[in-house]
Structure 1
Amino acid sequence: MSTRVFGILAAILVGAVLSVIATMAVLSARNPGPVATVTSPASDVSVTASASSPSAPSPTMGPLPADPCHAGAVTYCALNPAVTQATIETTICVSGWTATIRPPSSYTSPLKVEQLAAFGYADQNPKDYEEDHRVPLELGGAPRDTSNLSPERGASPNPKDSAENSARAEVCAGRATLQQEQIAFISRWLAAYPGYR
């Protein structure tokens, strides 16, 4: 089996695992009920969530992963170390905060062209894409880390932007944790682009 095929299969498996993890974590946080756990042998990640304490470990289950951007040796995104659950009130929950950290187009435009070629997109016209953050800045994504940036088809704003704003509102209102929404975005991104590695 070639390295590329193995990488694609690994990405699909990790995407499926993260999707299940994100769904269970978000549903458990939003709907009180029994604690749910998902353990993935592929990534050795164990996630536990409950409505009263979404990220607290239980006696039999582990906590949410400290860094949801990594599954084994694979990096899917990057987080901004300045944004944590403890700092959301002074970072992502402050109106206009993301504008202070968003990279300029002089950085993202050349990166978009480079990534379109590197990722082998059939349509190489950069005007058909925006360079987007896999974990949105609104949820603590790293602004300039290339592992958190990729070309996304369509202009800005797009439907993903409103989903980012809704997720941020959930975190800032205390209805979901920062990690839960980060994991949800990562799993949705992997599901949309299963060949990514």
Structure 2
Amino acid sequence: MIAGCSHSASSGSSTSGKGAPASGASGTAVPAGSAGQQIPVGAGPQTTYTVQQQPPAGSCRYHYENGEPLPDPKCTPGATSPAVTQANLKSTICRPGGYTKGIRPPVSVTNKEKKLNAASYGYTGRLGDAEFDHLLSLQLGGDPNDSRNLWVEPADPGHKSGGGINNKKDPVETKLHTAVCDGKVTLAAAQQAIASDWTTALSRLGLG
């Protein structure tokens, strides 16, 4: 996957590390689609990542648009990385050779977070079929390990259990990334659109 972690879960307990508090504990963690409100800003890439606290079990709810899952905006409003700005796109997300590989948290961290976040959302399906997704993808300047930017994304409706990761959000992320790097839309506009509703992000920006 280009934009979201797609690791299956492993056992292990959580330890709280530095980073943004979960479940909207920060005053900036507000629904990203609301008028006049800013997407939260995370800590950005870290040399060493630690397992982040996730929202309390059962506190988050999926909702659906045309059968596609969207995260709970109270739990997962998205979070941007301060390391990526409109001014430095060519040296970050748009640079030749890629950007995301070097900033991803290790599987040893995300596997534990994924299991905890599944409990946050009450997800009871097969974890191997769900993506631990960055709502604001790394290729769109999303924060790598802020709990406000991560959610267990179920597979598309009708996907056969045991078939692995399958969702329609990844192609949306890639198209938005291309549009940002081609100068068709601003980074902020792309981030706002996907954080608000990834299923309508392309049409909202006139990208199909």
3-state SS of paired residue (1:171): helix
Deviations 1:66-110 (CA, angstroms, capped at 9, x unpaired): x3348xx98712111000001111000023211111222211111
Within a 5 Å distance, the mapping from 1:18-37 to structure 2 comes to: 18=33
Gaps of 5+ in 2: 1-23, 25-30, 42-73, 156-163, 201-208
- Determine if contact 1:115/1:150 at 8 Å carries over to the other structure: yes
Shift of residue 177 of structure 1?
0.1
- Determine if contact 2:169/2:198 at 8 Å carries over to the other structure: no
TM-score w.r.t. structure 2 length?
0.55
Shift of residue 146 of structure 1?
1.1
- Determine if contact 2:75/2:148 at 8 Å carries over to the other structure: no
Distance 1:107 1:134 in 2: 18
Question: What is the number of residues matched between the two proteins?
Answer: 131
Q: Which residue of 2 aligns with 1:127?
A: 128
Deviations 1:141-171 (CA, angstroms, capped at 9, x unpaired): 0001111111011344632111111101100
Distance 1:131 1:156 in 2: 10
Distance 2:166 2:82 in 1: 26
Match of 2:169 among 139, 156, 160: 160
Q: Which residue of 2 aligns with 1:169?
A: 178
Q: Are 1:107 and 2:109 matched, yes or no?
A: yes
3-state SS of paired residue (2:189): helix
Distance 1:69 1:146 in 2: 11
Q: Which residue of 2 aligns with 1:81?
A: 82
Within a 5 Å distance, the mapping from 1:1-197 to structure 2 comes to: 14=31, 18=33, 40=35, 45=36, 67-69=38-40, 76-94=77-95, 95-121=97-123, 123-154=124-155, 155-156=164-165, 158-189=167-198
For 2:39, give the aligned amino acid: P
- Determine if contact 1:69/1:75 at 8 Å carries over to the other structure: no
For 1:107, give the aligned amino acid: V
Deviations 1:37-74 (CA, angstroms, capped at 9, x unpaired): xxx4xxxx1xxxxxxxxxxxxxxxxxxx6x3348xx98
Deviations 1:165-197 (CA, angstroms, capped at 9, x unpaired): 110110001000000000011111599xxxxxx
For 1:184, give the aligned amino acid: A
Q: Radius of gyration: which is bigger? A: 1
Following superposition, which runs of at least 4 residues in structure 1 exceed 3 angstroms of deviation?
155-158
Q: Which residue of 2 aligns with 1:55?
A: none
TM-score w.r.t. structure 1 length?
0.58
For 2:188, give the aligned amino acid: Q
Shift of residue 127 of structure 1?
1.6
3-state SS of paired residue (1:100): helix
Higher normalized helix content (fraction of residues): 1
Q: How much identity, in percent, do the aligned residues show? A: 38
For 2:116, give the aligned amino acid: E
